[in-house]
Structure 1
């Protein structure tokens, strides 16, 4: 057991088994880039087991073609061998979108605004010997042909692995009126979960399942077989206008968004909803103590950064990324990207796109 064996001397039949433990696309690319034997052990056909954009039923009108587009968030860091190592020590947070007309397009990690429409059209090239590329998460959007309206606030898709066939994946969405929808391969239309209620705010994938929160901050997970909700947390009873779910370091948080001038609402389908054109006044953050089954009021996130994007929520460490401050929440508000500081409760408008454009220009041919 004490004898060391070089990786290159391992039996060839082990490499396919090792490779199948890699779920993320970028990890498999790096695996196949090591040497010829590693490359041949995993067929490239597996890299496209799920092809996006993915055609799905339109949420409202089944006669209209709709597509599920995928975007991937990456953290790109220089290695010591990189020529840019001296220029920055942290990594860039980038988001790459796959769509029907543009196989790969750079977008803002927060607002999803297209970045590479007005910069050089030359392709970006990253030498994986000079940069470490980490996949953080994926996000999804529903689009339709002809510019037809798609009434979806949030959509998630799971599982999405190199080794998973489309027949085994499920999409879950929160419609703009607050309903929950579920779609599996072969469905002709979306099926409603808890169809009599209109009060759901957000959905994420947590612990391999779909978790949703309602307007009271009660978290439930969805049994995709029975289409039933199983309550996971006690009610938060937060008085904000919109609840967001964020997973950070293995725990689940609810971020409660408050709008200025009280709950300015609009009515749709006889149900009141927050007016999302109203400016944000503040946020409150709560962490679920799963052991005791109670909510903890969080006053300080430390070096963690919470990002409430237009298509996904996620958390990163401020020590790892350029341009982000710890103990802050980044979000969109009336089409602007803003930062809320939990310490002094200040809100400022920021410009992230220059960081992304700088990244795009530096690594183009």
Structure 2
């Protein structure tokens, strides 16, 4: 069913998935695969651009505001390959003047040596998966770098003329204490990255950790880590703007902001997902591409695995499932523009959270309260069961 109100086209981003890793980490539930003896880089890039060609109908006159090259481990690709990929994308879709182009990278020596080449190829933001600065924890997490390599990678990224770079750090690691978690965080802060993604390890289904669960800290320790870590990041000049994202002024991740603001994004590559607004017929569609590299590289098969409409009944939950991750106010007008639904539907769905002071209801916006940020799952559960 089409939406009852007109929608406007939101900003457009592009996600590119490169599926290969040196080895699969035991906590990882992403669509990643152990690299073959020779990665078919040129063939895969050609397929990515063919995949993009099929999705050009969804651009609808927009420029790309951001590109995120994720995985897997995209830094296994050569700088020349990334340059060819980005040139191919730009030949098909114009880039916004302030476009953010992020590439995920591991801090191993092999990948770090390529950072300068990635920057010259057009990447202006690196996201480096450090996860811990403690040797023992890195081994438990199945990471193949050591703390020294992580530090070298951060220093190298800082020396390049990038717009920004991010360091990923996990907490709530196996048998982690408050002291060791804070030591990890202090080590990351000392590296002075413009952006830190600091998030709790969770045990996901269909992972090695799910079949052989490690001993994780109890809830009291997890709360102490979060509370003290948040205060320490704020004291170091990092502003929390999303559940697990902290940036110095001017360094918020634009690509993820577009996700959480219910913007549009094309998804190309193995298992990549897309979300597109079609204002002319009042639809929002989602796409998913073939997951396995063998199938994706098989030119006799389409890249598209499935495509479906986001039903109007699901849009309230999907919008807030994304939007509530951000700490900023949520404009009521944006809700209607992005979903095609009247504000009254959202107010009805949020009523319980507003009564419990988890959401503050303003004249033109909603805002998650400090208490509400701690109970986001409760807010979302209420939305999902709303009649």
TM over 0.5: no
Q: TM-score, normalised by structure 1?
A: 0.28
The higher-RCO structure (CA 8 Å, 6+ apart) is 2
Larger relative helix fraction: 2
Normalising by structure 2, we get a TM-score of: 0.27
